[in-house]
Chain A
């Protein structure tokens, strides 16, 4: 508070109002008002409430079983150990296999990467064609695609199983990748179509006059302007596919189970002792990928979602 009281050279100008120089006048003071205490207090409590389970998980995953049996779930570990993490990753048993989550992790990678890439590639071209090349029946096509987004997944599971079986890819990673790509299509196409529609139409016209064709305009004009929306689509797809459980368990064989299914099998295994520390570590490991994706690209995510909202 001393600052506002001390007379700086500029403060003398109050007497000669209107002279150029430092801004003058009363400065608003930051106060520890009752309103602010309430505001920040509420925020703090809410944050703690949501962070508490995470804290318990992290703490438990670093304790040994004897320490867990004492029952003090909030107390920090007396003896920090990373053995549960190693076990969850490499040696935890699911049924007959005892190689932990690592196999599920690599399965998930092999599912997520191609599904994300293919679905984004196809959907961005879909969106571009729908936004800029008004072909005959475009509106009908778009309507059908959007309706597809509202049909519950469960309705389609059995028919898809039959289709995949007839194609001879039921139970394989290829089948699951195709399913993920198709189910990502409506929302991603909508996303890309809206983004491309928000770009100035005159740019597209100018490119056509310059003689560029469908793919030239897509790759050389549209793509370089669309990084934010590609990041948004990537986040949506990576987290969505990584977190998927239902499709993973229905459409693949045990050796191809994704990490989420593997995690479930570890945590819900009925024989033996419940190893809470291993379960916690396994859960944290599984959740780490989406979490990292959010942290790394969160800023771009917000920019992409807000893009087109304000003309700029």
Chain B
């Protein structure tokens, strides 16, 4: 895969605070990369560095193999969409779209052609003569995307573009952004704190914490094989169940034991040998806990239902089991009364095991 954006040893500090430190990231041509993290993790800062709105204190940024570390934003071949839309309030939609082209002294005919094309792709043709204040949130964000579109850029940068919209519009526009990416095939870098947006849109997700990329992988890997406990706990709602315990060896096989309850680790593909006595954390996603008739294998544990949360398509159970609480997702038509006893087993093939000290995946 050819590289579109390449970041080498990037550092940025505000005074004594290091926001980014020696960050490396390669983004492929036409890739949709999502930077995911909670607020203050440096994801927007990284995006602003790529855009050229913040000057890094160290490192280099390459776009299309050209070193753009000190280039002006307009010379980088990027377009950016902001959370607050950032439309110029005194200009009509048409003027908003064409402003950048006018500044670049493009011929009138070419400007009209590009505005027409963008408004057709985004279906904002009827809105061209309106002011931003006369548009709804979804329409405004569409115009903001159009402003990046007309500039015919190599890389699209999105800074939490859907965070100001209500839930319904957000999912609609999410699909539109995905469709846009499929038809334009541009490189897109998308910053969000919403894991659903990340999982649905991304080719690859970079999960960030305190200015460091914790894991960079496709959504499936991120979800099923998180590299450490932070990633495991950040992705998924409700969060992964974490059971603290240790390894014992029984009959030559490693077994996980927590609060006196034993779980066979058959089916778990550990990356390193599991020696006895090692303190570990077992992570199991709510949908990977099998309940009652689904509970299979030699190892079936008993638990009782504490709380039931029906969510329509799914039903979320909070089970009490050997001193810890487990979140379990079952199909929406399976109902359980609080207090009922249930049997459960874990799908070890999809579970994760972490070292208790380093919090890294084993």
Contacts and interface: CB of A to CB of B under 8 A. Distances in A.
Interface of A: 200, 202-203, 205-212, 216, 220-221, 224-225
A167 B74 CA distance: 45
Contacts of A209: 51, 53, 73-74, 78-80, 100
A206 B103 contact: no
Given A208-B74, A209-B74, A209-B79, A203 B86 contact: yes
B86 A200 contact: yes
28 contacts: A200-B86, A202-B82, A202-B83, A202-B86, A203-B86, A205-B48, A205-B51, A205-B53, A206-B80, A206-B86, A206-B87, A206-B147, A208-B52, A208-B72, A208-B74, A209-B73, A209-B100, A210-B74, A210-B100, A210-B103, A210-B147, A211-B73, A211-B103, A211-B104, A212-B99, A212-B100, A220-B99, A225-B90
A200 B82 CA distance: 11
Nearest to A205: B53
A256 to B, nearest CB: 41
A207 B86 CA distance: 9
B56 to A, nearest CB: 15
Contacts of B104: 211
B84 interface: yes
Which 7 pairs of residues, A with B, have the shortest CB-CB distance?
A: A211-B74, A210-B100, A202-B86, A206-B86, A224-B90, A202-B82, A211-B103
A183 B87 CA distance: 37
A225 B88 CA distance: 9
Interface of B: 48, 51-53, 72-74, 78-80, 82-84, 86-90, 99-100, 103-104, 147, 151
Interface-centre pick from B73, B78, B147, B151 (highest chain A CB count, 10 A)? B73
Interface-centre pick from A220, A224, A225 (highest chain B CB count, 10 A)? A220
B52 to A, nearest CB: 8
Contact of A211 (B48, B90, B100): B100
A37 B83 CA distance: 52
Contacts of B103: 210-212, 216
Contacts of A203: 86, 88
Given A210-B74, A211-B74, A200 B100 contact: no
Contacts of B100: 209-212
Nearest to A217: B103
Contacts of A224: 90
B74 A225 contact: no
Contacts of A206: 80, 82, 86-88, 147
Nearest to B48: A205
Contacts of B80: 205-206, 209
Nearest to A200: B84
A277 B104 CA distance: 65
Contacts of A212: 99-100, 103
A207 B147 CA distance: 11
Contacts of B86: 200, 202-203, 205-206
A209 B47 CA distance: 13
Given A202-B84, A216-B103, A208 B53 contact: yes
Contacts of B89: 225
Contacts of B48: 205
Contacts of B99: 207, 210, 212, 220
A265 to B, nearest CB: 48
A225 B131 CA distance: 14
A221 B78 contact: no
A200 B132 CA distance: 15
A208 B54 CA distance: 12
B90 A208 contact: no
A212 B151 CA distance: 13
Nearest to A213: B103
A208 B51 CA distance: 10
Given A205-B48, A206-B147, A208-B53, 12 more contacts: A200-B86, A205-B51, A206-B86, A206-B87, A207-B88, A208-B73, A209-B74, A209-B78, A210-B74, A211-B72, A211-B74, A225-B90
A225 B89 CA distance: 8
